[in-house]
Homo-oligomer: A and B are copies of this chain.
Amino acid sequence: MTSHSYYLGIDLGATTVKAGVVSALKSQILNLKSQKATVTAETADQKGTVVLQRIIDCARQAVVQAGLALSDITAMGIASPGPIDIKAGIICDSPNIQGWRDIPLAKLLSEALGPPAILENDANAAALGEYHLGAGQSVAVMAMFTLGSGIGGGVVIDGEILHGAHGFAAELGHIILVPAGRKCGCGQRGCAEAYASANSTAARAVEALRQGRESSLSQLFRAGRQLTAKDVVDHARQGDALAAEILDGTAYYLALLSLNVRAVVDPQLIVLGGGLAQAGDILLSAVRKHFKEQGWHLQGADRCRMELAVLGNQAGMIGAALAAAKALGR
Protein backbone atom coordinates (compact mmCIF):
# COMPACT_ATOMS: atom_id res chain seq x y z
CA MET A 1 0.00 0.00 0.00
CA THR A 2 1.40 3.36 -0.99
CA SER A 3 -1.75 5.40 -0.95
CA HIS A 4 -1.16 9.10 -0.44
CA SER A 5 -2.96 11.44 1.87
CA TYR A 6 -3.51 15.06 0.91
CA TYR A 7 -3.55 18.03 3.21
CA LEU A 8 -4.67 21.54 2.39
CA GLY A 9 -2.64 24.43 3.73
CA ILE A 10 -4.02 27.94 3.97
CA ASP A 11 -1.93 30.95 4.93
CA LEU A 12 -3.91 33.94 6.06
CA GLY A 13 -1.51 36.85 5.75
CA ALA A 14 -1.93 40.52 6.44
CA THR A 15 -2.90 41.34 2.85
CA THR A 16 -3.39 38.04 1.03
CA VAL A 17 -4.55 34.48 1.52
CA LYS A 18 -2.66 31.58 -0.04
CA ALA A 19 -3.70 27.96 -0.39
CA GLY A 20 -1.93 24.81 -1.57
CA VAL A 21 -2.02 21.03 -1.19
CA VAL A 22 0.68 18.91 0.41
CA SER A 23 0.93 15.23 -0.30
CA ALA A 24 1.98 12.80 2.42
CA LEU A 25 2.62 9.10 2.66
CA LYS A 26 1.85 8.10 6.21
CA SER A 27 3.79 10.65 8.28
CA GLN A 28 6.35 11.23 5.56
CA ILE A 29 5.85 14.43 3.62
CA LEU A 30 6.39 13.80 -0.07
CA ASN A 31 5.93 17.05 -1.88
CA LEU A 32 3.89 20.13 -2.36
CA LYS A 33 1.27 18.93 -4.79
CA SER A 34 0.45 22.32 -6.16
CA GLN A 35 3.69 24.17 -5.68
CA LYS A 36 3.33 25.88 -9.02
CA ALA A 37 -0.35 26.42 -8.53
CA THR A 38 -0.61 28.21 -5.21
CA VAL A 39 -3.75 30.27 -5.19
CA THR A 40 -3.61 33.77 -3.78
CA ALA A 41 -6.31 36.34 -3.13
CA GLU A 42 -6.31 39.83 -1.66
CA THR A 43 -7.78 40.23 1.79
CA ALA A 44 -6.58 43.72 2.72
CA ASP A 45 -9.25 46.14 3.90
CA GLN A 46 -12.04 43.66 3.34
CA LYS A 47 -14.90 42.80 5.61
CA GLY A 48 -14.74 39.51 7.48
CA THR A 49 -17.52 37.93 5.41
CA VAL A 50 -15.69 38.81 2.18
CA VAL A 51 -12.43 37.42 3.53
CA LEU A 52 -14.09 34.19 4.62
CA GLN A 53 -15.53 33.71 1.12
CA ARG A 54 -12.12 34.43 -0.46
CA ILE A 55 -10.47 31.85 1.78
CA ILE A 56 -13.10 29.29 0.75
CA ASP A 57 -12.69 30.13 -2.95
CA CYS A 58 -8.90 29.97 -2.68
CA ALA A 59 -9.04 26.60 -0.97
CA ARG A 60 -11.39 25.16 -3.61
CA GLN A 61 -9.21 26.42 -6.45
CA ALA A 62 -6.02 25.02 -4.88
CA VAL A 63 -7.63 21.59 -4.61
CA VAL A 64 -8.79 21.72 -8.24
CA GLN A 65 -5.36 22.89 -9.44
CA ALA A 66 -3.79 19.97 -7.57
CA GLY A 67 -5.98 17.66 -9.68
CA LEU A 68 -8.01 16.62 -6.65
CA ALA A 69 -11.48 16.91 -5.17
CA LEU A 70 -12.27 18.17 -1.67
CA SER A 71 -13.15 14.60 -0.74
CA ASP A 72 -9.48 13.69 -1.35
CA ILE A 73 -8.35 16.11 1.38
CA THR A 74 -7.77 14.42 4.73
CA ALA A 75 -7.49 17.62 6.73
CA MET A 76 -6.85 21.35 6.43
CA GLY A 77 -4.57 23.67 8.35
CA ILE A 78 -4.87 27.44 8.54
CA ALA A 79 -1.87 29.59 9.47
CA SER A 80 -2.86 32.90 10.99
CA PRO A 81 -1.20 35.76 12.82
CA GLY A 82 -2.13 36.04 16.49
CA PRO A 83 -3.87 36.51 18.73
CA ILE A 84 -5.48 33.13 18.15
CA ASP A 85 -6.65 30.25 20.30
CA ILE A 86 -4.89 27.31 18.67
CA LYS A 87 -6.66 24.56 20.62
CA ALA A 88 -10.12 26.01 20.01
CA GLY A 89 -9.40 27.02 16.40
CA ILE A 90 -10.55 30.57 17.06
CA ILE A 91 -9.21 33.88 15.72
CA CYS A 92 -9.46 35.99 18.88
CA ASP A 93 -8.89 39.34 17.27
CA SER A 94 -7.59 40.15 13.81
CA PRO A 95 -5.43 43.23 13.36
CA ASN A 96 -6.00 43.06 9.58
CA ILE A 97 -9.57 42.01 8.99
CA GLN A 98 -12.54 44.20 9.90
CA GLY A 99 -14.87 42.77 12.47
CA TRP A 100 -13.03 39.53 13.10
CA ARG A 101 -13.22 38.90 16.80
CA ASP A 102 -13.67 35.45 18.32
CA ILE A 103 -14.18 33.90 14.88
CA PRO A 104 -14.23 30.06 15.01
CA LEU A 105 -12.39 29.89 11.69
CA ALA A 106 -11.44 26.20 11.84
CA LYS A 107 -15.08 25.24 12.37
CA LEU A 108 -16.40 27.66 9.72
CA LEU A 109 -13.98 26.37 7.07
CA SER A 110 -14.62 22.77 7.95
CA GLU A 111 -18.39 23.34 7.59
CA ALA A 112 -17.92 25.13 4.27
CA LEU A 113 -15.43 22.70 2.70
CA GLY A 114 -15.83 19.35 4.40
CA PRO A 115 -12.47 18.19 5.78
CA PRO A 116 -11.63 18.74 9.45
CA ALA A 117 -9.49 21.81 10.08
CA ILE A 118 -7.00 23.12 12.60
CA LEU A 119 -5.65 26.58 13.25
CA GLU A 120 -1.97 27.32 13.82
CA ASN A 121 0.11 30.41 14.55
CA ASP A 122 1.66 31.59 11.27
CA ALA A 123 5.26 31.67 12.54
CA ASN A 124 4.87 28.23 14.12
CA ALA A 125 3.54 26.94 10.81
CA ALA A 126 6.43 28.49 8.88
CA ALA A 127 8.91 26.81 11.24
CA LEU A 128 7.21 23.45 10.77
CA GLY A 129 7.31 23.93 6.99
CA GLU A 130 11.03 24.71 7.00
CA TYR A 131 11.66 21.82 9.39
CA HIS A 132 10.11 19.22 7.10
CA LEU A 133 10.56 20.59 3.60
CA GLY A 134 13.03 23.46 3.93
CA ALA A 135 16.23 24.40 5.76
CA GLY A 136 15.70 22.09 8.72
CA GLN A 137 15.28 18.72 7.07
CA SER A 138 18.14 16.96 8.88
CA VAL A 139 17.81 18.35 12.39
CA ALA A 140 15.95 17.29 15.54
CA VAL A 141 15.56 20.72 17.17
CA MET A 142 15.08 23.90 15.14
CA ALA A 143 14.12 27.49 15.90
CA MET A 144 13.03 30.05 13.33
CA PHE A 145 12.59 33.80 13.28
CA THR A 146 10.19 35.31 10.77
CA LEU A 147 11.53 38.81 10.22
CA GLY A 148 8.73 40.99 8.93
CA SER A 149 6.77 43.91 10.32
CA GLY A 150 7.34 42.12 13.63
CA ILE A 151 9.40 39.06 14.55
CA GLY A 152 7.50 35.81 14.63
CA GLY A 153 9.00 32.76 16.24
CA GLY A 154 8.66 29.02 15.95
CA VAL A 155 10.39 26.11 17.67
CA VAL A 156 10.14 22.52 16.44
CA ILE A 157 11.37 19.66 18.63
CA ASP A 158 11.44 16.14 17.21
CA GLY A 159 8.91 17.14 14.58
CA GLU A 160 6.47 18.77 16.99
CA ILE A 161 5.73 22.48 17.28
CA LEU A 162 6.53 23.77 20.78
CA HIS A 163 3.16 25.13 21.91
CA GLY A 164 3.66 25.56 25.63
CA ALA A 165 0.89 25.38 28.19
CA HIS A 166 -1.49 27.83 26.49
CA GLY A 167 -0.33 27.91 22.85
CA PHE A 168 1.79 31.04 23.40
CA ALA A 169 5.24 29.44 23.26
CA ALA A 170 7.95 30.58 20.84
CA GLU A 171 6.93 34.24 20.90
CA LEU A 172 10.60 34.75 20.21
CA GLY A 173 10.23 38.33 19.01
CA HIS A 174 9.12 39.27 22.51
CA ILE A 175 12.25 38.10 24.26
CA ILE A 176 13.47 41.22 26.03
CA LEU A 177 17.00 42.10 24.92
CA VAL A 178 17.37 45.57 26.40
CA PRO A 179 16.01 46.35 29.90
CA ALA A 180 13.86 49.49 29.74
CA GLY A 181 14.67 49.65 26.03
CA ARG A 182 12.65 50.58 22.93
CA LYS A 183 8.89 50.31 23.26
CA CYS A 184 7.40 47.27 21.55
CA GLY A 185 3.92 47.01 20.07
CA CYS A 186 3.14 44.36 22.68
CA GLY A 187 3.51 46.84 25.54
CA GLN A 188 6.84 45.54 26.79
CA ARG A 189 10.09 47.44 26.50
CA GLY A 190 13.25 46.20 24.82
CA CYS A 191 11.78 43.26 22.88
CA ALA A 192 13.83 41.82 20.02
CA GLU A 193 11.00 42.88 17.71
CA ALA A 194 11.57 46.52 18.67
CA TYR A 195 15.15 46.34 17.35
CA ALA A 196 15.53 43.71 14.68
CA SER A 197 12.27 43.35 12.75
CA ALA A 198 12.09 44.84 9.27
CA ASN A 199 9.98 47.71 10.59
CA SER A 200 12.29 48.40 13.55
CA THR A 201 15.33 48.32 11.29
CA ALA A 202 13.73 51.01 9.14
CA ALA A 203 12.65 52.94 12.24
CA ARG A 204 16.19 52.93 13.64
CA ALA A 205 17.45 54.29 10.31
CA VAL A 206 14.87 57.07 10.34
CA GLU A 207 15.83 58.03 13.89
CA ALA A 208 19.48 58.26 12.93
CA LEU A 209 18.61 60.45 9.93
CA ARG A 210 16.48 62.68 12.15
CA GLN A 211 19.52 63.07 14.37
CA GLY A 212 21.30 64.49 11.34
CA ARG A 213 23.48 61.50 10.49
CA GLU A 214 24.85 61.58 6.95
CA SER A 215 23.75 58.82 4.65
CA SER A 216 22.77 58.08 1.08
CA LEU A 217 19.37 57.29 2.62
CA SER A 218 18.88 61.00 3.34
CA GLN A 219 17.63 61.75 -0.15
CA LEU A 220 14.84 59.21 0.05
CA PHE A 221 14.04 60.42 3.53
CA ARG A 222 13.93 64.10 2.59
CA ALA A 223 11.76 63.28 -0.42
CA GLY A 224 9.15 62.09 2.07
CA ARG A 225 9.52 58.46 1.11
CA GLN A 226 8.70 55.99 3.89
CA LEU A 227 11.99 54.15 4.41
CA THR A 228 11.91 50.36 4.46
CA ALA A 229 14.34 47.73 5.69
CA LYS A 230 14.96 46.93 2.03
CA ASP A 231 16.20 50.50 1.52
CA VAL A 232 18.59 50.01 4.43
CA VAL A 233 19.83 46.71 2.99
CA ASP A 234 20.21 48.17 -0.50
CA HIS A 235 22.17 51.19 0.70
CA ALA A 236 24.32 49.05 3.00
CA ARG A 237 25.20 46.92 -0.03
CA GLN A 238 26.11 50.07 -1.94
CA GLY A 239 28.54 51.01 0.79
CA ASP A 240 26.59 53.57 2.80
CA ALA A 241 28.12 53.65 6.28
CA LEU A 242 24.98 54.52 8.23
CA ALA A 243 22.89 51.90 6.46
CA ALA A 244 25.62 49.34 7.16
CA GLU A 245 25.68 50.36 10.83
CA ILE A 246 21.89 50.06 11.16
CA LEU A 247 21.88 46.65 9.47
CA ASP A 248 24.78 45.51 11.64
CA GLY A 249 22.73 46.58 14.67
CA THR A 250 19.89 44.40 13.44
CA ALA A 251 22.33 41.50 13.09
CA TYR A 252 23.74 42.15 16.58
CA TYR A 253 20.30 41.99 18.18
CA LEU A 254 19.38 38.90 16.15
CA ALA A 255 22.58 37.29 17.47
CA LEU A 256 21.64 38.10 21.08
CA LEU A 257 18.16 36.75 20.39
CA SER A 258 19.67 33.59 18.91
CA LEU A 259 21.94 33.10 21.93
CA ASN A 260 18.94 33.42 24.23
CA VAL A 261 16.92 30.95 22.22
CA ARG A 262 19.90 28.60 22.21
CA ALA A 263 20.15 28.87 26.01
CA VAL A 264 16.56 27.69 26.34
CA VAL A 265 15.96 25.10 23.62
CA ASP A 266 19.46 24.09 22.42
CA PRO A 267 18.63 23.84 18.72
CA GLN A 268 20.95 22.44 16.05
CA LEU A 269 19.70 25.08 13.66
CA ILE A 270 18.31 28.58 13.77
CA VAL A 271 16.57 29.70 10.58
CA LEU A 272 16.15 33.30 9.49
CA GLY A 273 13.01 33.76 7.43
CA GLY A 274 10.54 36.47 6.46
CA GLY A 275 11.01 39.50 4.25
CA LEU A 276 14.14 40.86 5.93
CA ALA A 277 15.90 37.50 5.50
CA GLN A 278 15.82 38.19 1.77
CA ALA A 279 18.78 40.46 2.53
CA GLY A 280 20.61 37.14 2.31
CA ASP A 281 24.28 36.71 3.10
CA ILE A 282 24.95 40.31 4.11
CA LEU A 283 22.59 39.75 7.05
CA LEU A 284 23.34 36.07 7.72
CA SER A 285 27.11 36.49 7.87
CA ALA A 286 26.78 39.45 10.26
CA VAL A 287 24.42 37.54 12.57
CA ARG A 288 26.80 34.58 12.58
CA LYS A 289 29.75 36.84 13.41
CA HIS A 290 27.99 38.49 16.37
CA PHE A 291 26.63 35.12 17.52
CA LYS A 292 30.15 33.77 17.73
CA GLU A 293 31.57 36.89 19.36
CA GLN A 294 28.85 37.32 21.96
CA GLY A 295 28.32 33.65 22.78
CA TRP A 296 30.14 31.46 25.24
CA HIS A 297 32.91 29.17 24.07
CA LEU A 298 31.92 26.34 26.40
CA GLN A 299 30.44 23.01 25.40
CA GLY A 300 28.10 23.03 22.47
CA ALA A 301 29.07 26.53 21.35
CA ASP A 302 29.76 25.32 17.83
CA ARG A 303 26.82 22.95 17.52
CA CYS A 304 24.19 25.52 16.61
CA ARG A 305 24.13 26.47 12.93
CA MET A 306 22.34 29.44 11.44
CA GLU A 307 20.84 29.40 7.94
CA LEU A 308 18.42 31.29 5.75
CA ALA A 309 14.93 29.95 5.16
CA VAL A 310 14.40 28.31 1.79
CA LEU A 311 10.63 28.10 1.37
CA GLY A 312 10.09 31.85 1.04
CA ASN A 313 6.54 32.99 1.55
CA GLN A 314 5.17 29.47 1.10
CA ALA A 315 6.52 28.24 4.45
CA GLY A 316 3.38 29.14 6.39
CA MET A 317 1.04 27.50 3.90
CA ILE A 318 3.12 24.33 3.73
CA GLY A 319 3.52 24.25 7.50
CA ALA A 320 -0.21 24.69 8.02
CA ALA A 321 -0.85 21.62 5.87
CA LEU A 322 1.79 19.67 7.80
CA ALA A 323 0.33 20.76 11.13
CA ALA A 324 -3.03 19.45 9.95
CA ALA A 325 -1.40 16.17 8.93
CA LYS A 326 0.15 15.82 12.39
CA ALA A 327 -3.01 16.71 14.28
CA LEU A 328 -5.61 15.04 12.11
CA GLY A 329 -3.66 12.81 9.72
CA ARG A 330 -4.26 9.14 9.29
Quick one: given A179-B178, A188-B295, are A168 and B259 in contact (CB under 8 Å)?
no
Interface residue ranges of A160-186 to B (CB < 8 Å): 162-172, 174-179, 184, 186
> How far, in angstroms, from A300 to B87 measured CA to CA in the complex?
14
A210 vs chain B, min Cβ distance (A):
23
Neighbouring B residues of A165 by C-beta, 8 Å: 139-141, 266-268, 303
Give which listed residue, B92, B155, B163, B263, contacts A175 with CB less than 8 A: B263
> How far, in angstroms, from A259 to B162 measured CA to CA in the complex?
17
> How far, in angstroms, from A163 to B264 measured CA to CA in the complex?
9
Neighbouring B residues of A300 by C-beta, 8 Å: 166, 168
Tallying the copies of this chain within the complex gives 2
Quick one: given A296-B186, A298-B83, A299-B92, are A265 and B169 in contact (CB under 8 Å)?
yes
The residue in A165, A188, A298 that gathers the most chain B C-beta atoms within 10 A of its C-beta is A165
Neighbouring B residues of A169 by C-beta, 8 Å: 264-266
Contact with B along A94-112 (1 / 0, CB 8 A): 0000000000000000000
> How far, in angstroms, from A140 to B169 measured CA to CA in the complex?
13
7 pairs from A and B in contact (CB 8 Å cutoff) = A164-B265, A165-B267, A166-B268, A171-B266, A176-B177, A176-B256, A188-B296
What is the interface of chain A, defined by CB distance below 8 A to chain B? 82-83, 92, 139-141, 153, 155, 157, 162-172, 174-179, 184, 186-189, 252-253, 256, 259-268, 294-300, 303
